[in-house]
Amino acid sequence: MTQVSPQNPRSQGAQPPAAGGAYGSFTQEQVEALFINAAREGEADLLSSFLDAGMNPDLQVEKGYTPLILASYNGHIEAVSVLLMRGASPDLQDEKGATALAGVAFKGFLPIARMLLQAGAQVDLPNAVGRTPLMFAVMFGRDDMARLLLKAGASPTHRDGEGLNALDLAQRQGNAALLALFKEHEAGQA
C-alpha cells in the first residue's frame, strides 16, 4: 500500500478523502492537513473537491491559520477566489491577530487585496499589537497597496500598541511618496 503524505496532496489521486471522518486509512487530522496544504499550495481544483466533500472553508489549524489566510499569503489568486466563493470569512484572524488582508498588505499582492476587500474584509482590522493592513503596507514599502487601502477607507491615523500610526511609520522611513499620499488623502477628507 502506498503511503500518502499530507505534504503532497497530488499523491492521493484526483479525489480528496471524504470530510467529516476517516476515509480508508485517513484520519480526520490527515484530511485536514491535506486540505490546508491544498490551500497553501494553491490547488484550487483540489480545494473545490474538499469543499464539495464538506470541509469547512473556515477551518483553523496550527497557529490559527485558515485556508484563506494561507492561500492569500502565498499569492494563489484562484484558490482565494474558490475559498471566498465557497463562504470563507475574510476577517478570521490567526493566533497573532493577522488576517488574510494583513498578509497580502505585507506581501504586496494587489489583486488578492482587491478580492478580499470586495468580499467584505475589514480594512482596518488590527492584529494583536494593534497594527492594521495599512501599517504593514507602509512598513514594507508597498506604496501601491497603501494607496489601495486608503481608497478602501483605511485610516492613516489608527495607532498601534506602541502609539504609532501609518503616517509615523512613513516619516520614520523617510518615504516621501507615502507622506505626500497621506497629505493628499487628508486634504480629500476635509
- Tens digit of each residue's pLDDT (9 = 90 or more) over 91-149: 999 999 999 999 999 999 999 999 999 999 999 999 999 999 999 999 999 999 999 99
Q: Does 7 have pLDDT greater than 50?
A: no
Residue 16 inside a domain? The answer is yes
Residue 97 inside a domain? The answer is no
Number of domains in the chain: 1
Residue 171 inside a domain? The answer is no
| DSSP at 23 | B
CATH number, residue 18: 1.25.40.20
Lookup: cell for 68: 484563506
Q: Note down the domain range covering 35.
A: 1-89
Residue 3 inside a domain? The answer is yes
Residue 107 inside a domain? The answer is no
Q: List, in order, residues 6 or more apart from 140 with CB less than 8 Å away.
A: 106, 108
User: pLDDT (tens digit, 9 = 90+) per residue, 57-89?
Assistant: 999 999 999 999 999 999 999 999 999 999 999
Residue 58 inside a domain? The answer is yes
User: Whole-angstrom Cα distance, residue 125 to residue 101?
Assistant: 9
Task: State how far the alpha carbon of 190 is from the alpha carbons of 36, 134, 175, 187, in Å.
Answer: 45, 20, 23, 5
Of residues 60 and 18, the one with the higher pLDDT is 60
Residue 27 inside a domain? The answer is yes
Q: How much is the average pLDDT of 160-183?
A: 92
pTM score above 0.75: yes
